[in-house]
């Protein structure tokens, strides 16, 4: 096969549909748009979700839930995939180097899914109860990351300005 002999597969290239070019074409007169109505007119389309003035479904239903901003920065690692790391000690950087978590990940959690055959020293990563037991059973150690700081609930009074 040469570059100058390559052709599209038979039936892959259809001729352009030429509308409003006579009744014999099958798409003459109304050009496949039917008779009258908004959709038959030029520019006669409305926005997606428009229901003719009736309150659209999207606005009739109540708002519910939210998507956490931090969800893209968190990753989940299966305990069976830890063997791909290659190193004895596992932290967020070693997971990134092994390609188990994306580069922009800020926190990760190991979950129990698969067997842990080797002793690993896990530090600075979240870990599920089952995964922790499996790693310790294989002779490894787990040091959990420090918990995130709790937000201050109390409002601090504003400092009074000294009267001049």
Residue 160 scores a pLDDT above 80 = no
Domain hosting residue 90, numbered range: 71-143
**CB burial class (10 A; 0-12, 13-18, 19+) of residue 135?**
buried
Written as six digits, the tokens of 148 are 């995130």
Strand locations in the chain, DSSP E? 74-78, 89-90, 107-111, 121-123, 126-127, 141-143
Reported confidence tier of residue 162, pLDDT bands at 50, 70, 90: low
Is 127 a domain residue?
yes
* pLDDT for res 13: 95
Is 164 a domain residue?
no
Residues of the chain with pLDDT > 90: what percent?
57
Mean pLDDT, to the nearest integer, of 27-36? 93
Is 86 a domain residue?
yes
d(CA 137, CA 131): 10
Q: How many CB atoms lie within 10 A of CB 16?
A: 5
* pLDDT for res 44: 84
* pLDDT for res 157: 67
Contact between 114 and 78 under an 8 Å Cβ cutoff? The reply is yes
- Number of separate domains in the chain: 1
Contact between 143 and 123 under an 8 Å Cβ cutoff? The reply is yes
Is 152 a domain residue?
no
Is 102 a domain residue?
yes
Is 50 a domain residue?
no
Q: Could you tell me the CATH number of the domain that includes residue 123?
A: 3.100.10.10
Q: What is the pLDDT of residues 80-134, one digit of tens each?
A: 898 888 888 999 999 999 999 998 888 899 999 989 888 999 998 999 999 999 9
Residue 73 scores a pLDDT above 90 = no
Is 114 a domain residue?
yes
Q: What is the mean pLDDT of the chain?
A: 88
Contact between 19 and 13 under an 8 Å Cβ cutoff? The reply is no
Is 128 a domain residue?
yes
Which candidate, 79, 112, 108, 116, places its Cα nearest to that of 91? Answer: 108
* pLDDT for res 154: 67
Mean pLDDT, to the nearest integer, of 153-161? 67
Contact between 115 and 80 under an 8 Å Cβ cutoff? The reply is yes
Reported confidence tier of residue 136, pLDDT bands at 50, 70, 90: very high
């Amino acid at each position: 096969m040469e570059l100058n002999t390559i052709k599209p597969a038979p039936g892959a290239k259809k001729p352009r549909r030429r509308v409003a070019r006579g009744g014999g074409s099958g798409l003459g007169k109304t050009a496949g748009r039917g008779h009258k109505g908004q959709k038959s007119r030029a520019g006669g389309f409305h926005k997606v979700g428009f229901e003719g003035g009736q309150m659209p479904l999207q606005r009739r239903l109540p708002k519910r839930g939210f998507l956490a901003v931090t969800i893209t920065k968190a990753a989940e690692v299966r305990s069976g995939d830890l063997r791909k790391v290659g190193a004895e000690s596992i932290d967020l950087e070693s997971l990134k180097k092994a390609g188990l978590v994306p580069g922009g990940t800020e926190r990760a959690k190991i979950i129990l899914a698969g067997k842990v055959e080797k002793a690993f020293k896990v530090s600075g990563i979240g870990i599920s109860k089952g995964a922790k037991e499996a790693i310790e059973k294989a002779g490894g150690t787990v040091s959990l990351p420090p918990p995130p700081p709790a937000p201050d609930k109390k409002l601090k009074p504003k400092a009074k300005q000294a009267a001049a």
